[in-house]
Amino acid sequence: MSGFPAFDYRNARLYGESVQLDRIAEEFGTPCYVYSRAALIAAYEEFDAAFAGRDHLVCYAVKANSNLAILNFFAPRGGGVDTVSGGELLRVLKAGGDPQKVVFSGVGKQPDEMRAALAAGILCFNVEAEPELVVLDRVAGEMNKIAPVSLRVNPDVDAKTHPYISTGLKENKFGIPFDEAERLYLSSREFANVRITGLDCHIGSQLTELDPFVEACGKILGLLDRLETQGLPIDHLDLGGGLGIRYAGESPPPARDYVAALCSAVGQRNQRILIEPGRALVGNAGVLLTRVAYLKHTPYRNFAIVDAAMNDLMRPALYDAYHEILPVIANRNDIKTYQIVGPVCETGDFLGHDRKLSLAQGDLLAIMSAGAYGMSMSSNYNTRPRAAEVMVDGDRIHLIRERESIEQLIAGEKILP
């Protein structure tokens, strides 16, 4: 048993749904991201079903994995998206997304991005500061449009996660300080070209407990009630994303418990509820396939040098994040403790430390839980073309992004005349 339902062993061989992962490596090469269609759909449906009868919108956070084939799953199922750039918005529209189900988050929206979103007719801008509201009001006025707005409020709640991905503390750059939010909400009535429609918060990512969500929700609801009492109606509550997944030993609450906790906090209030999950929808629906290029046994440590690197999956190098690493063909002979490292010229280029594996040159490994913030954070460091991406569906294999070529990579560069 792998512990990951979409990617499991049959006869000691790792499969993605009904496809042997070694077959994918033969056909498409490595490194290669592999996603399971069934896992994506199951994750979305668990969130959606948990709202049972309540007016809601599950807005997939595009940043987690922005491949068009993945974005294309959510619209036909009634889902929306959370975008943070003009580029993400364009992807969503190309993948058939409904602009009326798009929210636009982020601390640094540029006027051209605002224009694109206003032209598309998105559901809501999640505004993070007063100067942003000033610019949005001006841009909307120039276009003769009214911008729908939620203010993203920073509730000052400890999400108890890695400091780099905690966003809801008062010292973080995100959102409007809780104590200033009410004043800004009330003064937003003076902006002629914006209309307040919602209230938003997001406190961090990879949360493995419900308490911080419930605490943030309580603060936000208190603010909502005060605003309504003062004659400012709010149509929707956007409670952000952040539900964690199991990488190793964590036991995050299932999506249904998380949604039930939010719904119970909101109680009888009749606002539509939006959430913005990213990782919990795609994280465990993907793996990164890589091949052992060389083994290096030194008197101090054993290294498995694989063909994937920190440019393909940055999470271990950036957050010291743990990803399970499994052999594609299980073999229990001669187990050693390995450092799983990539070819990039940095000591920080590791994918896993101290993994007990039985390895030979040419073996395939699957780096698990790589569906979220894997490909979307990849780079071309060391002039490494980005990996291919493949989706399995039952026994079918679809290439959803070709491996990048070096020619594509240098195409925009020019030598001086």
- Residue nearest ligand LLP, CB atom distance: 278
- Per-residue x/- marks for ligand LLP, 55-94, CB under 6 A? ------x--x-----------------x------------
Can you tell me which of 97, 241, 286, 352 binds ligand LLP, judged by CB under 6 A?
241
How many residues sit close enough to ligand LLP to count as binding (CB under 6 A)? 21
Q: How far is the CB of 251 from ligand LLP (least distance, A)?
A: 16
Sequence letter at residue 361: Q
Binders of ligand LLP among residues 359 to 388 (CB under 6 A) are: 372-373, 377
Q: Does residue 198 bind ligand LLP (CB under 6 A)?
A: no
Task: Give yes or no: 345 in active site.
Answer: yes
**b/e for 367-380, b at 16 or more Cβ within 10 A?**
bbbbbbbbbbbbee
Indicate left, alpha or beta for 134 from its phi (over 0: left) and psi (-120 to 50: alpha): alpha
Q: Taking contact as CB under 6 A, which single stretch among the options 219-227, 275-283, 303-311, 326-334 is the one that binds ligand LLP?
A: 275-283
Q: How far apart are CA 93 and CA 4, in angstroms?
A: 32
159 or 392, CB closer to ligand LLP? 159
Can you tell me which of 88, 137, 276, 389 binds ligand LLP, judged by CB under 6 A?
276
- Per-residue x/- marks for ligand LLP, 322-361, CB under 6 A? ----------------------------------------
In 3D, which of 143, 160, 64 has the Cα closest to residue 105? 64
In 3D, which of 348, 344, 340, 238 has the Cα closest to residue 294? 340
Phi (first) and psi of residue 61, to 5 degrees: -80, 105
276 or 363, CB closer to ligand LLP? 276
Q: How far is the CB of 412 from ligand LLP (least distance, A)?
A: 26
Q: How far is the CB of 276 from ligand LLP (least distance, A)?
A: 4
233-236: Cβ within 8 A, 24+ apart: 234/196, 234/197, 234/198, 234/199, 234/271, 235/197, 235/198, 235/271, 235/272, 236/57, 236/124, 236/150, 236/197, 236/198, 236/199, 236/271, 236/272, 236/273, 236/274
Can you tell me which of 155, 212, 278, 316 binds ligand LLP, judged by CB under 6 A?
278
Sequence letter at residue 50: A
Can you tell me which of 91, 101, 279, 386 binds ligand LLP, judged by CB under 6 A?
279
Q: How far is the CB of 88 from ligand LLP (least distance, A)?
A: 12
Can you tell me which of 83, 205, 208, 284 binds ligand LLP, judged by CB under 6 A?
205
Q: Does residue 208 bind ligand LLP (CB under 6 A)?
A: no
Q: Is the separation of the CB atoms in 207 and 199 below 8 Å?
A: no
Q: How far is the CB of 382 from ligand LLP (least distance, A)?
A: 20
Q: Taking contact as CB under 6 A, which single stretch among the options 7-15, 45-53, 209-217, 240-248 is the one that binds ligand LLP?
A: 240-248
Q: How far apart are CA 24 and CA 18, in angstroms?
A: 12
3-state secondary structure of 364: strand
Q: Does residue 128 bind ligand LLP (CB under 6 A)?
A: no
Q: Going by DSSP bridges, is the β-strand pair 302-306/32-36 parallel, antiparallel, or unpaired?
A: unpaired
Place of tokens 């491996």: 403
Q: Is 256 exposed, middle or buried (0-12, 13-18, 19+ CB in 10 A)?
A: middle
30 or 376, CB closer to ligand LLP? 376
Q: How far apart are CA 179 and CA 202, in angstroms?
A: 16
Can you tell me which of 315, 323, 355, 384 binds ligand LLP, judged by CB under 6 A?
315
Sign of the torsion formed by the C-alpha atoms of 33, 36, 39 and 45: positive
Query: What residues make contact with ligand LLP under the rule CB under 6 A?
Result: 61, 64, 82, 105, 165, 202, 205-206, 240-243, 276-280, 315, 372-373, 377
Known catalytic residues are 345
